[in-house]
Structure formats: structure tokens, C-alpha cells
């Protein structure tokens, strides 16, 4: 069976730099969490939880996911979700 870890919910909202798009700033945070191991391989990257954690719209979260997919940091399986990729 495919095992995965669910992201925790964080109640604090990030302060964004107004000179940079929000999605790039969120992608930087997720990259850092993956690199540090805070988000291990197979960890679920939930759109709903990212929306809540960062206080942004679903479209913003989808831009983040697209960028991370293009970099090979996450993989998305239709009907299952997005997960941190194996390195």
C-alpha cells in the first residue's frame, strides 16, 4: 500500500513581501521544508491545507504546485493528490 504523511495545519499566516508574487514566496517555503526534511518523501501536499496555512486562494496554491512539479520536487497522481517526490 502507498504510505504517506499528511501535512499539519498551521494557524499563523505568513507575512508576504509585496514586491514578489505570493506563489513564489510560498514555493520558496515549501522548497525549504522539503530540503530540510521537514516534508519527507511521500508527504501529502494538500491544496486545502496550503490555502489555510498561507491564507491564499486555490489558484495561487496551484501555481506553487505547478512550479514544484516542474522542478521534480513533488509528483501528482490523479485521484490521489500531490506528494513529495523521491530525491
- pLDDT tens, position by position, 55-82: 999 999 999 999 999 999 999 999 999 9
Angle between helices 22-36 and 47-54 (to 10 degrees): 110
14-29 pLDDT, tens digit each: 799 999 999 999 999 9
Tell me whether residue 69 is in a domain: yes
- Locate 13 and state its grid cell: 499566516
Residue span of the structural domain in which 44 resides: 22-84
User: For residues 52 and 56, what is the distance between their CA atoms, to the nearest angstrom?
Assistant: 7
Give the count of alpha carbons within 13 A of 68, CB side only. Answer: 30
pLDDT score recorded for residue 31: 98
Domain with 42 in it: what CATH number? 1.10.10.10
For residue 16, tell me if it sits in a domain: no
pLDDT of 7 higher than 50? no
What is the pLDDT at residue 83? 98
In a domain, 36, yes or no: yes
pLDDT for residue 10: 45
Domain total in the chain: 1
Report pTM: 0.84
Amino acid at each position: 500500500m502507498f504510505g504517506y504523511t499528511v501535512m499539519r495545519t498551521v494557524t499563523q499566516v505568513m507575512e508576504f513581501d509585496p514586491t514578489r508574487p505570493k506563489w513564489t514566496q510560498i514555493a520558496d517555503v515549501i522548497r525549504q521544508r522539503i530540503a530540510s526534511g521537514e516534508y519527507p518523501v511521500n508527504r501529502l501536499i494538500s491544496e486545502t491545507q496550503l490555502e489555510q496555512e498561507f491564507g491564499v486562494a486555490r489558484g495561487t496554491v496551484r501555481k506553487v504546485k505547478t512550479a514544484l512539479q516542474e522542478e521534480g520536487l513533488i509528483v501528482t497522481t490523479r485521484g490521489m493528490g500531490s506528494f513529495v517526490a523521491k530525491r
